[in-house]
Amino acid sequence: MWIRFEKNAIFYILKILLQTNQNDMKNRNLLFIFFLALFVSCEKKTKSELIDKNIVGQYIDNFNKNDVELYQQFITNADVKTFLLDNVPLIDIPDKDIEETYYFRWWTYRKHIKNTEDGFVITEFLPKVFWSMKHNTINCPAGHHIYEGRWLRNPKYISDYINFWLKKSGDGIRQYSFWVADASLAFQSVHRNDSLIIDQLPLLLKNYQKWELDRRIQKNTLFWQYDTNDGMEHTVSGRILNNGVDTFTVSATRPTINSYMYGDAKAIAKFAQILDKPLIHLSFTEKAENIKQSVQERLWNKKLNFFTVLPKDYNEGHRPLNIRELIGYVPWYFNLPDDKMEYAVAWQKVKDTLGFAAPIGLTVTERSHPYFQISYEGHECQWNGPSWPFATTQTLKALANHINNYTNHQMVSIKDYYELLLQYAKSHKRTNQKGEIINWIDENINPFTGDWISRTRLKKWENGTWSKEKGDVERGKDYNHSGFCDLVISDLLGLKPQIDGSIKIKPMVPESWDWFCIDRVLSNGREIRVVWDKYGEKYKIGKGFMIFINDKLVKKSSNLRDFIVGPI
């Protein structure tokens, strides 16, 4: 309405200017100045303010109001509003559960940005925990950190973070499994910097070679890993390999680390291609293909139609274990499986209550297995039943890839993806002592009640209260072990910048949505805005699906569709 008023005012002032007596130059000049001010104001509003920052600010104010700021790092609650409004893409979508969680997860993410003498790093826990490495970092969720943080407008935070892992973290880079090359490629696709690629490629090669030495038995193509070093304690596959006895850790040939190594090999091959290093490109393309074939031949359980686990020192006589765990979807995170219905049938289990479907979130073990359990005894972190945001993030990214990049995806749909993302968003809650429902992210969640299991256990761990040895007060509060914002930006709303500078746009929004907007996305120096306004009534800049680059309309369609915007 304000824009319409301004435009009407402009036409009115122009009319007056034309009719003003030439001798009345003073009034004419004043009117001309007023005309220019209105014109600039109108232009600014139509180009820069489709999403009301005050609404975003209200989310942030509410998160601050409900927060007890126990642990401060680089960006405090006092500074968070300015930081987020300056650095994160803004979204406006009909589903306010997803929208609120999106801003909440950025609000928690910035808490983990830590300024050190080695540059910026991202932490997993806010309090110091004894198993962390330099600067309280843990590389287990670092792939999620990089995928998430790549969307920050200032690339320095993640550029420093990748540099830290490759140059300054010592053995921390291989403390846990970590898809560092793949995540680096994802970052470079948003903020490409060839000087960094030149600098980091030798370090990525060195890291890969060390994994080959440490985690691969020479007679086998596939890698092995302790389930705990995948970040997963007390797994059901580990129990099976331990003759049915529950145990903290077991080594095995797992879909996780082999998918990570496949993804890293593909990424290294791509970096080598960019830098015109054909021998490295060919070598790592071949490594990736060998892993792919071995994963499909050795880890695919034909009886269960699922990727499962082999013993560490497997031979021709071994068969994959008869247990479905959510890690069986990780190969799709890296687009590893062939596009065949034989593999696609695995996806029906995300909707099956005998599989992984539960009221609050996906379980990490299939519910029908006799070893499935939700336990409030023993170790506080168990991967034998609860829902873990770390695994949910991997599964949702894998599902988006399966729907977008495969023709044989009849078992699942965009609707299924949206419903699982919405379920994940709604799980970010806790009821406080006043009976108020507040935004929350922690470690493992009861998939039937929504209780944060580890928190419930730890707050009475030692003499009825928190244990310093376990990480002290509210160890898991604002836990940075998963992703969410990247799932919204890259998959739900469909922005997929490519390493060649082009941008694929493939929205996965419900058919019922008549509008959405994502704005202030900075990719390779370009400002990107994506607008869907079916009837032209929400944003009043036109009807249809519109892509803007640097405020210029470059693509438009009357209906939602996939677009590719070439390098500019």
Give the contacts of 172 (CB within 8 A, at least 6 positions apart).
Answer: 133, 134, 137, 138, 139, 165
pLDDT for residue 14 is more than 70: no
What is the Cα 219 distance to its own chain's centre? 36
pLDDT digits (tens, 9 = 90+) for 51-106: 999 999 999 999 999 999 999 999 999 999 999 999 999 999 999 999 999 999 99
CA-to-CA separations, 253 to 249, 315, 421, in angstroms, rounded: 13, 11, 30
* pLDDT greater than 50 at residue 376: yes
Structure tokens at 121: 């790093």
CA atoms of 412 and 345, how far apart (whole Å): 9
The pLDDT assigned to 567 comes to: 84
pTM: 0.92
> How far apart, in whole angstroms, are the C-alpha atoms of residue 381 and residue 415?
31
User: Taking all residues of the chain, what is their mean pLDDT, rounded to a whole number?
Assistant: 93
The yes-or-no verdict on residue 516 having pLDDT over 80 is yes
pLDDT band at residue 49 under the 50/70/90 scheme: confident
Query: What DSSP designation does 566 have?
Result: P
Structure tokens at 74: 């680089």
- Indicate if the pLDDT at residue 165 is higher than 80: yes
* Phi, psi angles (nearest 5°) of residue 300: -80, 120
CA angle 338/343/346 to nearest 5° reads 145
Helices (H), 326-388: 330-333, 341-344
For residue 66 the two structure tokens come to 């409900």
Give the closest residue to 301 by CA, choosing from 282, 284, 317, 321: 321
Residue 334 CA to residue 295 CA, distance in Å, equals: 13
Cα dihedral across residues 525, 397, 329, 403: positive or negative: negative
The maximal CA–CA distance of the chain, rounded, in angstroms, is 101
**Is a pLDDT exceeding 80 seen at residue 545?**
yes
- Examine the pLDDT at 484 and tell me if it is beyond 80: yes
Question: 520 and 493 in contact (C-beta within 8 Å)?
Answer: no
The beta-carbon contacts of 119-124 under 8 Å, at least 24 apart in sequence, are 119/160, 119/161, 119/163, 119/164, 119/168, 120/74, 120/156, 120/157, 120/160, 120/161, 120/164, 121/160, 121/161, 121/164, 122/149, 122/157, 122/158, 122/161, 122/480, 123/73, 123/480, 124/479, 124/480, 124/481
- 468-478 pLDDT, tens digit per residue, is 999 999 999 99
Helix 142-149 and helix 96-109, axial crossing angle in degrees, nearest 10: 110
Task: Return the SS3 of 399.
Answer: helix
Adjacent-strand bridge partners of 521: 528
Quote the CA–CA distance of 392 and 97 in Å, as a whole number: 17
CA proximity to 442, closest of 398, 380, 490: 380
Q: Which of 40-44, 381-385, 386-390, 533-537 is predicted least confidently?
A: 40-44
The count of residues in the chain is: 568
- Which residue matches tokens 């680096």? 184
Q: Tell which wins on pLDDT, 29 or 248.
A: 248
Side chain identity, residue 290? N
pLDDT in tens, 332-360: 999 999 999 999 999 999 999 999 999 99
Q: What is the DSSP letter of 350?
A: G
Average pLDDT over residues 163-178: 97
